């Protein structure tokens, strides 16, 4: 049985006060005894403090991005060894904001993913179609293309969690219906199964896009939806905990 993973992506939001409050509340929620896991992606600046706050718990803390180089004259970038040094074990890659606002290509995202896994990290690998692609009926072909390089390297799959985030549902208040999301999740799991059947059964596939306490239960009840990558609703303790509460 796959556990449900509820992950919060804080993007360029959050503060030390939120970090303290959130970790404190997640500790109180005592998820260890249940089939629910939690993960948070704060800004780089807050990683060290959050790792310290989460020490001794099962709350996972990940980075929102990383450089595709291990070191060098790359002003403003953060490397995998730097993350490793402070104890980060998870990295979020391929988020649609990185793809669209920072022009990250499928090639670059795969390069980062491969390097991260080689360096011992686990990667939350995001895919998702635009509204235009959905309306044209191209959803599956877009997802297929985004997954292509990854699926051509099945050895990496043991260290990958896939997050399906339709771009039209991110930060818009529009959510994919449980049926729409399930259809894509099933498609993704079948693609993984064709490469590694065992891994396809153990891999958590997350849904992201305006997840909140009102829609989480129906989404996560679908057989191939194993939790959520939550943006806006992860920025308030009561909203994030509300998602966990509604699936308990
Ligand atoms: P949202 O963001 O929950 O605010 O739609 C999700 C994400 O971007 O990961």
Q: Which two tokens stand for residue 7?
A: 């992950």
Query: What is the band of 30 on the pLDDT scale with cuts at 50, 70, 90?
Result: confident
233 Cα nearest atom in ligand 1: 3
165 C-beta closer than 6 A to ligand 1? yes
172 Cα nearest atom in ligand 1: 5
Task: List active site positions.
Answer: 95, 165
Q: Are strands 122-127 and 160-164 parallel, antiparallel or unpaired?
A: parallel
243 C-beta closer than 6 A to ligand 1? no
pLDDT of residue 93: 98
pLDDT of residue 153: 98
Residue linked to tokens 């790359």: 74
231 C-beta closer than 6 A to ligand 1? yes
CB atoms within 10 A of CB 39: 24
User: Could you read off the pLDDT of 37-91 as tens digits, one per residue?
Assistant: 999 999 999 999 999 999 999 999 999 999 999 999 999 999 999 999 999 999 9
- CA torsion through residues 125, 115, 47, 157, sign: positive
Tell me the residue ranges of DSSP E strands in the chain.
4-9, 36-41, 60-63, 90-93, 122-127, 160-164, 205-208, 227-230
Q: For residues 84 and 34, which has the higher predicted lDDT (pLDDT)?
A: 84
Q: Are 209 and 128 in contact (CB under 8 A)?
A: yes
208 C-beta closer than 6 A to ligand 1? yes
Note the pTM of the prediction, 2 decimals.
Answer: 0.97
Which 8-state DSSP code applies to residue 225?
Answer: -
pLDDT of residue 31: 83
User: Could you read off the pLDDT of 190-244 as tens digits, one per residue?
Assistant: 999 999 999 999 999 999 999 999 999 999 999 999 999 999 999 999 999 999 9
Q: How far is residue 5 from each of residues 138, 158, 204, measured CA to CA in Å?
A: 28, 16, 7
230 Cα nearest atom in ligand 1: 3
């Amino acid at each position: 049985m796959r556990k449900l993973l509820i992950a919060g992506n804080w993007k360029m939001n959050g503060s030390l006060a939120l970090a303290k409050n959130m970790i404190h509340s997640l500790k109180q929620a005592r998820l260890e005894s249940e089939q629910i896991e939690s993960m948070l992606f704060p800004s780089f600046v807050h990683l060290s403090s959050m790792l310290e706050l989460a020490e001794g718990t099962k709350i996972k803390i990940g980075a929102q991005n990383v450089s595709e180089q291990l070191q060098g004259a790359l002003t403003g970038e953060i490397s995998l060894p730097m993350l490793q040094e402070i104890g980060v074990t998870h990295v979020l890659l391929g988020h649609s904001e990185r793809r669209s606002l920072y022009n990250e290509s499928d090639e670059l995202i795969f390069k980062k993913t491969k390097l991260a896994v080689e360096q011992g990290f686990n990667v939350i690998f995001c895919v998702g179609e635009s509204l235009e692609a959905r309306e044209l009926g191209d959803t599956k072909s877009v997802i297929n293309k985004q997954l292509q390089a990854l699926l051509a390297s099945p050895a990496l799959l043991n260290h990958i969690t896939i997050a399906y985030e339709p771009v039209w549902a991110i930060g818009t208040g529009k959510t994919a219906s449980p049926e729409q999301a399930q259809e894509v999740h099933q498609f993704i799991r079948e693609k993984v199964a064709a490469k590694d059947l065992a891994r396809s059964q153990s891999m958590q596939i997350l849904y992201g896009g305006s997840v909140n306490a009102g829609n989480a239960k129906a989404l996560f009840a679908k057989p191939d939806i194993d939790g959520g990558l939550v943006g806006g609703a992860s920025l308030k303790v009561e909203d994030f905990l509300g998602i966990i509460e509604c699936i308990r």
